[in-house]
């Protein structure tokens, strides 16, 4: 476990501190740091670059000159990419440069960067800054006292307002909170300065492993439910209350009846035709509509029951189709 000397704001030794071996004492992984830093820099790009294609450039609708006879090269539009002021072929367009980086890789890159700086003695830990009021001169004196040269990364708590304001005017100093610590800022800095309150611990950088979930007790095998009994056959339901509907006297109007909907009704023959010439009205028992020979639906309607007259069909509860019904009402109003 690496050990580091804790300093005061004036540069004097104040004690020692054991750093987490999982953060400051691992073998740096160069490829992982490279990939994470590349993704971080790519995410900073705005991606707003854009050029106009030949379809977006203004003008160019008319042919510049005729095809033959001028001695010049043929041209169809001044928006062509080989013209000055024309469109750009395969130029940059707005896009996003974000790269998906696994969280484990991001944490490994940060631990590798901190371990690299700690191995080179470029990590400095102080007990406190000791800034009562924001002052840039005090920040410069502090960096000189602790021996931080070049580009410096200072990690401070968010509530240390005097420290943040004291370092913000120094161009070679970057201030970050513990939650903003990342591999790029560590690698681009010559020195990393922590306070005893901001030194990362194992739980902050290394995500603890989740406890294994207890195995659920095995459920007893499901007992198959007994098969439901087949429903009893339902008795036929009468279609109409009129006893005249039932021609065979069984109390129910069904396909076995010769006249299922009254004396002037009859079942169709096997081929669907009428039993005699006196039956001219087709009826549909499902929709309870009837069609006279003048109906436009007469030829394509399969008769389920035949009637002799329209009055017999209406007495059995059948109606004309809505379109024919409206036409009949309109004719009645005109008369």
Lowest-confidence segment of 37-41, 158-162, 292-296 by average pLDDT: 292-296
Percent pLDDT > 90 in the chain is: 57
At 302 the pLDDT is: 79
Interval 94-117: pLDDT, tens: 999 999 999 999 999 999 999 999
Instruction: Dump the DSSP string for 301-319.
Output: PPPSEEESSHHHHHHTT-B
277 pLDDT higher than 60: yes
Q: Label residue 240 by pLDDT band (50, 70, 90).
A: very low
Residues 207, 30: contact at Cβ < 8 Å?
no
Q: Which residue has the higher pLDDT, 314 or 26?
A: 26
Instruction: Give the chain's mean pLDDT.
Output: 85
The residues, ordered by sequence, that sit 6+ positions from 50 with a Cβ below 8 Å of its Cβ are 92, 93, 94
Q: Spell out the residues 6+ positions from residue 279 whose beta carbon is closer than 8 angstroms to its own.
A: 266, 306, 307, 308
pLDDT at 11 over 60: yes
Taking a C-beta distance cutoff of 8 angstroms, is the pair 192, 155 a contact? Answer: yes
Angle at 333 between CA 264 and CA 291, to 5 degrees: 30
What average pLDDT does range 1-12 have in this prediction? Answer: 90
pTM of the model: 0.58
* Domain range annotation of the chain: 3-46+97-205, 244-334
pLDDT beyond 80 at 254: no
How many C-beta atoms surround the C-beta of residue 167 within 10 A? 25
> What integer pLDDT is reported at residue 257 of this predicted model?
57
| Pairing assessment for the beta strands 152-155 and 289-291 based on DSSP bridges | unpaired
Q: What fold is seen in the domain 3-46+97-205?
A: Ribosomal Protein L4; Chain: A; (3.40.1370)
Residue 149 tokens read as: 């040269």
Cβ–Cβ < 8 Å for 320, 328:
yes
Distance set, CA 27 to CA 23, 191, 194, 201, 317 (Å): 10, 19, 21, 17, 94
Average pLDDT over residues 166-181: 95
Which segments of 78-160 does DSSP mark as H helices, in order?
103-119, 136-146
Query: Residue 44: pLDDT above 50?
Result: yes
Instruction: State the pLDDT at residue 334.
Output: 65
Where are the alpha helices (H) located in the chain, listed in sequence order?
21-24, 30-44, 103-119, 136-146, 161-167, 183-188, 202-205, 310-315, 322-334
Do β-strands 281-284 and 289-291 pair in parallel, antiparallel, or remain unpaired? antiparallel
The CB-side HSE value for 84 (13 A sphere, CA atoms) comes to: 0
d(CA 137, CA 129): 13
pLDDT at 165 over 70: yes
Residue 234 above 80 pLDDT? no
Check residue 122 and give its pLDDT. 95
Q: What is the pLDDT of residues 67-93, one digit of tens each?
A: 999 999 999 999 999 999 999 999 999
Nearest of 333, 312, 209 to residue 261 by alpha carbon: 312
What does the pLDDT read at residue 204? 60
Mean per-residue pLDDT, 202-230: 63
Asked if residue 205 has pLDDT above 80, the reply is no
């Amino acid at each position: 476990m690496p050990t580091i000397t804790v300093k005061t704001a004036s540069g004097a030794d104040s004690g020692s501190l054991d750093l987490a071996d999982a953060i400051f004492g691992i073998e740096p992984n160069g490829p992982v740091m490279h990939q994470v830093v590349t993704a971080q820099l790519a995410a900073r790009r705005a991606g707003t670059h854009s050029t106009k294609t030949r379809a977006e450039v203004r003008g160019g609708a008319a042919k510049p000159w005729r095809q033959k006879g001028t001695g010049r090269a043929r041209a169809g539009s001044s928006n062509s990419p080989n013209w000055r002021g024309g469109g750009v072929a395969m130029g940059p367009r707005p896009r996003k440069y974000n790269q998906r980086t696994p969280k484990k890789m991001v944490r490994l890159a940060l631990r590798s960067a901190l371990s690299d700086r700690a191995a080179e003695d470029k990590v400095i830990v102080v007990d406190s800054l000791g800034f009562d009021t924001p002052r840039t001169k005090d920040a410069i004196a502090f960096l000189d006292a602790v021996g931080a040269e070049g580009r410096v990364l200072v990690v401070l708590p968010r509530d240390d307002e005097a420290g943040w304001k004291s370092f913000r005017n120094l161009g070679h100093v970057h201030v970050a909170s513990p939650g903003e610590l990342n591999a790029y800022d560590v690698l681009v800095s010559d020195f990393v300065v922590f306070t005893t309150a901001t030194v990362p611990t194992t739980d902050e950088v290394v995500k603890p492993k989740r406890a294994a979930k207890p195995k659920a007790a095995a459920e007893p095998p499901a007992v198959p439910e007994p098969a439901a009994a087949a429903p009893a056959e339902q008795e036929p339901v009468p279609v109409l209350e009129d006893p005249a509907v039932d021609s065979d006297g069984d109390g129910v109007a069904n396909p076995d009846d010769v006249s299922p909907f009254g004396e002037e009704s009859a079942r169709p023959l096997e081929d669907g035709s009428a039993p005699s010439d006196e039956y001219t009205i087709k009826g549909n028992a499902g929709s309870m509509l009837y069609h006279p020979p003048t109906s436009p639906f007469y030829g394509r309607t399969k008769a389920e029951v035949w009637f002799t007259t329209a009055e017999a069909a209406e007495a059995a509860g059948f109606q004309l189709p809505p379109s024919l019904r409206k036409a009949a009402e309109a004719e009645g109003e005109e008369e």
